[in-house]
Structure 1
Amino acid sequence: MNLKLLLLLIVSFAVPQLLFADFIFRNGKNMEISFPGGEEDVVQTAVDIFSKDFSAVFNANLLKGSNAQIIVGTLGNHSLAEKLIDQASLEKLKIHSEGYALWVEKDKMYILGSDKRGTAYGILELSRRIGVSPWEWWADAAIARKNSLSFKNGFQLLEHPSVAYRGIFINDEDFGLMPWSSRTFEPSKIKGQIGPKTHAQIFELLLRLRANAFWPAMHEVSVAFFQTPGNREMADKYGIVVGSSHCEPMMRSANTEWKIDGKGNYDYVNNRENVLRFWETRVKELTNSDNIYTLGIRGVHDGKMQGANTLKEQFDAITSIIKDQRIMISENLNPDLTKVPQVFIPYKEVLDVYKMGLKVPDDVTLMWTDDNYGYIRHFPTEAERNRKGGNGIYYHISYWGRPHDYLWLSTNHPAQIYTQMKLAYDKGAKDMWILNVGDIKPGEYLTELFLDMAWNIDSIEDNKKGLDQHLKTWLTREFGQPYAADLLAVMNEYYRLAYIRKPEFMGNTRTEETDPKFKEVTDLPWSEQEIKNRIADYDKISEKVVQLSKAIPADKQNAWFELIEYPVRGAAELNRKLLYAQLARHGRANWSQSEAAYDAIEKLTTKYTTLANGKWKNMMDFKPRNLAVFQKLPQVKSATPLKTFQAPFATFNGNEFVKFEGTKPVSHGLGHQSGAVSIKKGDHAVYEFNSLAKDSIRVEVALAPNLPVEGKLIRFEIKIDDQAPKIVDYHTSDRNEEWKINVLTNQAKRMIITRLDNKQRNHSITIKALDENVVLDQIKIYNL
């Protein structure tokens, strides 16, 4: 009896293990998927995308069938997945929009979404897991074959987004996306049309990146999104929530549509009925679509509203406008206004109106902006954080305007994006994040970083190590582990050098300025040694990229060129062109070196536009707006001498403190030498140095030019030895000269002149943060 009982026990434990192996994808083996009827279009769209990926990876087909190994469902659709999910996961899903649970049980995989988009993200998580890059089409990222991939029984994943609406804004599309779409990818007889085939690719990318929101291109050169047949339907198919920018209320691109559908002037004050009719026509068209309605008004194209000149007149007009727009929404879309997403964007003069006490309805999201150069202008106050509609951020990695455009290469520092957006999130901006990506290319990595944060704000460890790991993981996915470490060093240096000064800013020119001295390329305030050091730094990473390109596998060469080689070598050559020209103007270099760099950029761009049998023809313009900085340079002599370099006798990066009080300052990799640190309010860091013979010194403190978080000031306290501390404020006024210099150099500088006690050899400098957002980059000490 005992032996029989023992055998019975052994069999009872062994049989489940034999019956239920791991869930396994296998090369050449078809797989079935099932989901109940009544699922929304985006779910079928996600299945179609994953089916394509599955075939590419495993050389097999994903079939719909009753004997399915993958069971999909959405809450409320009575799916088998919903019946089998554990209670704890079910309760979590119920309280989170766009979440999903993915688990393996008894050799079957289940995916359950909290809503239609959650289900779609769950399905496309499988694409990520089998190794397909979100950039498989947009950056020609190669899809690797696999023999098998297994998920153990008991595997569980439950995710939901940190930010409610997450997406991108196609902007300044004149030089890339519009000509590429209308002439190359989706040729149209209608000039400037960006059609549904193009938008299908954009929306697939957004789904793969777990985004849900989109602001369409809106420049005058482009046909408006809703004026092109098929665009709206494509957004519905992919489950994308279409919104519009700060100057496009009620889903209308006034810049292009008013001259077609408007009557009279776009002037609410003096032409109210026609303006309201213009808006309401669009609202009625979109009855069954997912949209975010921008409230308020500005001019036809990013200008001041018409018909109201003073702030008081603008205040009264916008108050009336919002009331009319809300009535329109309630009458045409939903009497319950809280069910229709709405946003108000206090930008430029509208911010001044808001600050006058404008009453924005509590259910409307307030969306704050950066200063176009990555520094957020306003963080939600406690009262704004408590609003039902919440807060959002509109952020730039591409910009057309003063003091200078950056439309060619995407060089915003990842640590700047991270620190600014993390602070915004912590301050309550959790409801809408929109990134101005220009033409999408070449901003691929920064776009993914931004949207990864929006999906899971805690996915990146809050320090340099975490940011390095995110970038390294991305590089590993795209090019493989053997190259990731070298590439991480290259890309960190690429972003560091551009943080000192973006390639587009290297001509010392400015755009949209009246002063003629900014129209032509002139010397930067750098010495010969500084110029040669920068050339050498760029040469080093450019040569490394050329070396690595020989080892990159053939199937990854297109992605390599688009994501790494073109931006790194392009930035290097533009710097070489302008810096050798500066030396040549002083007889310190040959003009041929500058001209060779220009020719190199031209050749690199030609290669870009002929990649993949011309897939990207018309996408990459290395002379956006034909600005002087991009041209061959006139061979002239300089009438003024090169700057003489004055070396400080001591230099400290922010992370070179010897001690601190409070929370240890955090390094994220920002700074001219990647050594900047964030110092929390009330904490301080101490730096020590030995003085030379002279007793008078000049201390130069350089900080990231962040903007105030609360109030109007951003301050630090500096104390030298036992001297009385000095309080220093470094906030800037909107678009003044100091702000322009700050954003062009990514430093705000303050000078302190003092005398030291000659009897004391060892000295200290203590920097204390008096406000939030203080990021100390460098301290330099000069003898006087």
Structure 2
Amino acid sequence: MQHVAENFAADLERVGGKAARRITSAGEASGNVVVIGVLGQSAVIEELVRAGKLDAHDIAGEWEAFRQIVVEHPLPNVARALVIVGSDRRGAVYGTYDISEKIGVSPWYWFADVPVRRQANVYITAGSHRDAPKVKYRGFFINDEDPAFSSWANKRFGGINARMYEHVFELLLRLKGNYLWPAMWPPKAFNDDDPQNKIVADAMGVVMGTSHHEPMTRAHDEWHRNKEQGVTGGKWDYGTNAANLRAFWRGGIERMMSKGNGERYESLVTIGMRGDGDEAMAESTATRLLETIVADQRRIIEEVTGRPADHTPQVWALYKEVQDYYDHGMNVPDDVTLLFADDNWGQIRRLPTSNLDRKGGYGVYYHFDYVGAPRNYKWLNTVQIEKTWQQMDLAYARGARTLWIVNVGDIKPMEFPLSFFMDHAWNPEAMTLDALERYPRDWARATFGASQADAIADLITRYSKYAARRKPEFIDASSFRLGEGVGDTLNGGEFGALVAELHDLELDMMKVKAALPKDQRAAYLQLVEHPIAALSNLYQLYYAVAWNRRLAAAGDARANAFADQALEKFHRDQALTDNYHRVNGGKWDGMMSQTHIGYTNWQSPPTQVMPEVTRIPAQSVAKPIVFASGPVHDEASDVIAIEAPHYTRAVNGSGLEWRTIPNLGRTLGGITAFPQGRGPTTQQDAVRVEFDIEVRRAGDLTVQLYLSPTLDTTDRGSLRIGVSIDDRPMQTLIDKLLPSPTATTLQEQRDWNRAVEDNARILQAAFPDIGAGKHTLKIWRLDDNVVIEKVVASTGPIPLTYLGPSPREPRPSAALRP
């Protein structure tokens, strides 16, 4: 409580310009005051309850609930008080930071330098307001934190220590989170590196945990340090080294209980075991061995705490191959929270199908950052909140309501999606589709004020869409198609259209920047300017490399101009990084040091590598560079491409309604039937959308459905959707997309790689002998969690991809010229 009281006093000074006086007893109070306390633990609060001036019975015994109420004459010499009462200490903290945010102090005031606007007056609505979280544990995981987060922390704080973590804890609590997996890349260990870490976390009210492969509160690096008395280390193998592992884990629980007086540092204890170095424990599913491990871990918990194991909250993370144990029927104690996971790329792999009332409940471990196959993505924010919403809304509907945790890498630059994730976790029921659509504007207004909120929301939404189409680490000179050159004219093709979209976005970003007051420029650079400029520059770099290689191969001296442009963009990339590191006096120096140019496999290159370009000898004569203008796609072709939200009609039924998730995916948005989480339907249920199309040339009609990549979360192994034309029989398309840990064949692995690389899944149907003229294409809802983004049909050949706008959608501006 001391921390939040001090921070709230500082917030009042930030807003009002005058320091707020802190008092510790009712006798010191006079004038108008703010009272912060916990129900049942504050004498002032209890007296107000007894006097009938405060009714807080509806939060008594609740988890992290709070009530804010304006009370007249609560104390002698006090005319009026804003009373913030929590059902527990975190409830009081959230009730206080909720007021801070409402008076204009962003949760990102420190972590993104969002300025606080001075105000002469702020007003609190009379009456009473109650709130409480719908998801019990809500938090994030600092991971993959080298070189960026680590180098920043070393430069600013001398290490990843308690002084640094105090800022992380405050951010977490201001975002109404309560749970943290700390930075753990070797050689880091939260409890061992700085003993003050756990003390500060506990004092501020943060529940600490450890990641999916670090059981019993132990950082994995501690095992290799061999510092614990009685632990000789050795192989991380329970079959051959169980005694040492048990001693190691016992030390972790003993440390958790070292607070004194039988109390523990508040923790949600990870149980189970994976292999050494975040790998599989065994080549096959060793279910009985893992059951033995969990039983032994719970015995240690009972022996050290002196209480039954179910009195200590525990979580078992079903990450990667660990999910196989669950699917194969491993017996898990009912009080243990089962934490399902996504495929590391935003597609949830599994959700509960039964036993929704289990005591420990269920949760989801989600990713905004990842190191691993088919390629890392660590550099920029590439998250579409619309995709996160669709997946987590499904998770909540299916009963995953105990724990939501997201891997955010270095925290920065994930500020926007992390804000969304935490707001969604606080109350998934309030985050409706309408609230989702408003969210970028609401966030921009809270961060930068009303005058530019709409423009900034548009920038953030467009950036998120472009960045999510393909992670930056996947982009190179061969990522997208160039158009065919005709004579002296070069057609930018698909690549040029994407470059142009980003260039237009960058120009719009600069216009908004010019209109902002100077005190918002540092926050704007971090939250909006840098990611847009950096992504746009990366596309321009590889676009120039692509043209250089195309022209050089033809002996065309115009290749030299593109070589020059590529080199300039390569140097600009470093300049953009340096500019970020200089912002606000170098406060964030090191935070953007993640390498991202020069990938040759899944792992980051150790240094940035300039892509190879070729120069044509000087004696060659370069022709003028002329770009084609006009559409990227041929309007006269037989291809019909329709954005899914542009369906002609929707047929609802069985309690389901078709709705659009705006902006989801690579172009306009996605459609699916709501509410999510419902069981399968059949063609007889008639839940479908219809597209009226006109076929120009008779023949065999090919229909492609562009879907948001999703996975079957019911353990059936596939998702189904129906397609028909006119009154012909429905074809059932089966999507057997399997995540990397589940893929058993090379083709399955390739399918998954392609889906996550392209951020799209394409299913295809064929209808023979379709006559020219008007027809009705029908898409039938069969399974849940199938989201349609685009429909493409033709009686002729269909291009490989339609990454950008459809042929009949508005065109981007012409491609950039070197």
TM-score band w.r.t. shorter chain: 0.7 to 0.9
1:147 counterpart residue number: 120
Question: How big is the shift at 1:709?
Answer: 2.9
Question: How big is the shift at 1:696?
Answer: 2.1
Q: Which amino acid aligns with 2:121?
A: S
Tell me, yes or no, if structure 1 residue 198 matches structure 2 residue 168.
no
Supply the distance in 1 between the matched residues of 2:790 and 2:55 (Cα, whole angstroms).
48
Supply the distance in 2 between the matched residues of 1:745 and 1:454 (Cα, whole angstroms).
28
Post-superposition Cα deviations, 1:230-268, rounded to whole Å, max 9, x if no partner, equal 111111121111101111000112245333335221111
Question: How big is the shift at 1:297?
Answer: 0.6
Q: Please, which moves more after superposition, 388-397 or 676-685?
A: 676-685
Supply the distance in 2 between the matched residues of 1:446 and 1:162 (Cα, whole angstroms).
19
1:732 counterpart residue number: 737
Q: Which amino acid aligns with 1:114?
A: S
Q: Please, which moves more after superposition, 565-574 or 542-551?
A: 542-551
| Residues 500 and 746 in structure 1, CA contact (< 8 A), matched pair in contact too | yes
2:349 counterpart residue number: 377
1:721 counterpart residue number: 726
| Residues 655 and 665 in structure 1, CA contact (< 8 A), matched pair in contact too | no
CA 1:82–1:581: 2 relative to 1, 3 Å: farther
| Residues 480 and 495 in structure 2, CA contact (< 8 A), matched pair in contact too | no
| Residues 194 and 223 in structure 1, CA contact (< 8 A), matched pair in contact too | no
1:775 counterpart residue number: 787
1:335 counterpart residue number: 307
Identify the match of residue 551 of structure 1 among 511, 515, 539.
515
Post-superposition Cα deviations, 1:690-715, rounded to whole Å, max 9, x if no partner, equal 11123222211111111113222211
SS of the residue 2:473 aligns to: helix
How many residues were matched structurally?
Answer: 709
Where do 1:410-449 residues align within 5 Å? 410-449=381-420
Tell me, yes or no, if structure 1 residue 295 matches structure 2 residue 271.
yes
CA 1:222–1:689: 2 relative to 1, 3 Å: same
Supply the distance in 1 between the matched residues of 2:43 and 2:432 (Cα, whole angstroms).
37
1:59 counterpart residue number: 17
Identify the match of residue 446 of structure 2 among 458, 462, 477.
477
Question: How big is the shift at 1:525?
Answer: 4.7
Identify the match of residue 275 of structure 1 among 226, 233, 245.
245
Where do 1:351-390 residues align within 5 Å? 351-383=323-355, 385-390=356-361
CA 1:404–1:668: 2 relative to 1, 3 Å: same
CA 1:320–1:101: 2 relative to 1, 3 Å: same
Question: How big is the shift at 1:600?
Answer: 1.8
Question: How big is the shift at 1:477?
Answer: 1.5
1:44 counterpart residue number: 2
Tell me, yes or no, if structure 1 residue 96 matches structure 2 residue 62.
yes
| Residues 188 and 221 in structure 2, CA contact (< 8 A), matched pair in contact too | no
Supply the distance in 2 between the matched residues of 1:63 and 1:645 (Cα, whole angstroms).
66
Question: How big is the shift at 1:728?
Answer: 0.6
Tell me, yes or no, if structure 1 residue 633 matches structure 2 residue 601.
no
CA 1:627–1:695: 2 relative to 1, 3 Å: closer
Supply the distance in 2 between the matched residues of 1:453 and 1:737 (Cα, whole angstroms).
33
Supply the distance in 1 between the matched residues of 2:162 and 2:353 (Cα, whole angstroms).
40
More helix, by proportion: 1
| Residues 73 and 82 in structure 1, CA contact (< 8 A), matched pair in contact too | no
2:648 counterpart residue number: 658
| Residues 523 and 582 in structure 1, CA contact (< 8 A), matched pair in contact too | no
Identify the match of residue 691 of structure 1 among 685, 690, 695.
695
2:108 counterpart residue number: 135
Q: Which amino acid aligns with 1:382?
A: S
Question: How big is the shift at 1:402?
Answer: 0.8
Question: How big is the shift at 1:526?
Answer: 5.5
Supply the distance in 1 between the matched residues of 2:348 and 2:713 (Cα, whole angstroms).
9
2:468 counterpart residue number: 499
| Residues 707 and 761 in structure 2, CA contact (< 8 A), matched pair in contact too | yes
Post-superposition Cα deviations, 1:110-166, rounded to whole Å, max 9, x if no partner, equal 111000111111121221121000000000110111101122432x21010111111
Supply the distance in 2 between the matched residues of 1:152 and 1:543 (Cα, whole angstroms).
41
Q: Please, which moves more after superposition, 524-533 or 649-658?
A: 524-533
Where do 1:205-354 residues align within 5 Å? 205-261=171-227, 262=231, 263-287=233-257, 288-305=264-281, 308-311=282-285, 314-354=286-326
Q: Which amino acid aligns with 1:652?
A: I
SS of the residue 2:84 aligns to: strand
Supply the distance in 2 between the matched residues of 1:765 and 1:488 (Cα, whole angstroms).
35
| Residues 89 and 101 in structure 1, CA contact (< 8 A), matched pair in contact too | no
Post-superposition Cα deviations, 1:459-517, rounded to whole Å, max 9, x if no partner, equal 3222xx4223111111112112111111122221111112322222212xxxxxxxxxx
4+ residue segments displaced more than 6 Å:
none
SS of the residue 2:160 aligns to: coil
Question: How big is the shift at 1:608?
Answer: 0.6
1:7 counterpart residue number: none
Supply the distance in 2 between the matched residues of 1:436 and 1:258 (Cα, whole angstroms).
24
Q: Please, which moves more after superposition, 522-531 or 763-772?
A: 522-531
SS of the residue 1:623 aligns to: coil
| Residues 481 and 493 in structure 2, CA contact (< 8 A), matched pair in contact too | no
Unaligned runs of 5+ in 2: 73-79, 258-263, 484-491, 552-557, 617-631, 675-679, 682-686, 741-748, 797-818
Supply the distance in 2 between the matched residues of 1:267 and 1:645 (Cα, whole angstroms).
58
Post-superposition Cα deviations, 1:65-94, rounded to whole Å, max 9, x if no partner, equal 331511222121143334435799533212
1:674 counterpart residue number: 668
Question: How big is the shift at 1:223?
Answer: 4.5
Supply the distance in 2 between the matched residues of 1:676 and 1:74 (Cα, whole angstroms).
45
Identify the match of residue 165 of structure 1 among 137, 148, 165.
137
* Percent of matched pairs sharing the same residue: 29
CA 1:703–1:523: 2 relative to 1, 3 Å: closer
Q: Which amino acid aligns with 2:268?
A: I
SS of the residue 1:768 aligns to: strand
| Residues 255 and 300 in structure 1, CA contact (< 8 A), matched pair in contact too | no
Question: How big is the shift at 1:333?
Answer: 1.9
| Residues 181 and 194 in structure 1, CA contact (< 8 A), matched pair in contact too | yes
Tell me, yes or no, if structure 1 residue 709 matches structure 2 residue 713.
yes
Q: Which amino acid aligns with 1:226?
A: D
Unaligned runs of 5+ in 1: 1-42, 188-192, 508-520, 639-643
SS of the residue 1:173 aligns to: coil
Supply the distance in 2 between the matched residues of 1:215 and 1:542 (Cα, whole angstroms).
35
Q: Which amino acid aligns with 2:648?
A: V
| Residues 695 and 794 in structure 2, CA contact (< 8 A), matched pair in contact too | no
Where do 1:461-472 residues align within 5 Å? 461-462=432-433, 465-472=434-441
2:804 counterpart residue number: none
Supply the distance in 2 between the matched residues of 1:164 and 1:603 (Cα, whole angstroms).
43
Post-superposition Cα deviations, 1:732-782, rounded to whole Å, max 9, x if no partner, equal 123211011001111111122223442x62101111121110100101112
Tell me, yes or no, if structure 1 residue 524 matches structure 2 residue 537.
no
Question: How big is the shift at 1:637?
Answer: 9.4
| Residues 140 and 407 in structure 2, CA contact (< 8 A), matched pair in contact too | yes
Q: Which amino acid aligns with 1:434?
A: I
1:582 counterpart residue number: 546
SS of the residue 1:150 aligns to: coil
Question: How big is the shift at 1:221?
Answer: 4.1
Q: Please, which moves more after superposition, 347-356 or 135-144?
A: 347-356
Identify the match of residue 762 of structure 1 among 766, 774, 790.
774
CA 1:673–1:235: 2 relative to 1, 3 Å: same
Q: Which amino acid aligns with 1:657?
A: Y
| Residues 645 and 668 in structure 2, CA contact (< 8 A), matched pair in contact too | no
Q: Which amino acid aligns with 2:201?
A: A
Q: Please, which moves more after superposition, 489-498 or 553-562?
A: 489-498
Question: How big is the shift at 1:625?
Answer: 9.1
Q: Which amino acid aligns with 1:732?
A: L
CA 1:316–1:214: 2 relative to 1, 3 Å: same
Q: Which amino acid aligns with 1:560?
A: Y
Supply the distance in 2 between the matched residues of 1:674 and 1:252 (Cα, whole angstroms).
45
Supply the distance in 2 between the matched residues of 1:152 and 1:700 (Cα, whole angstroms).
53
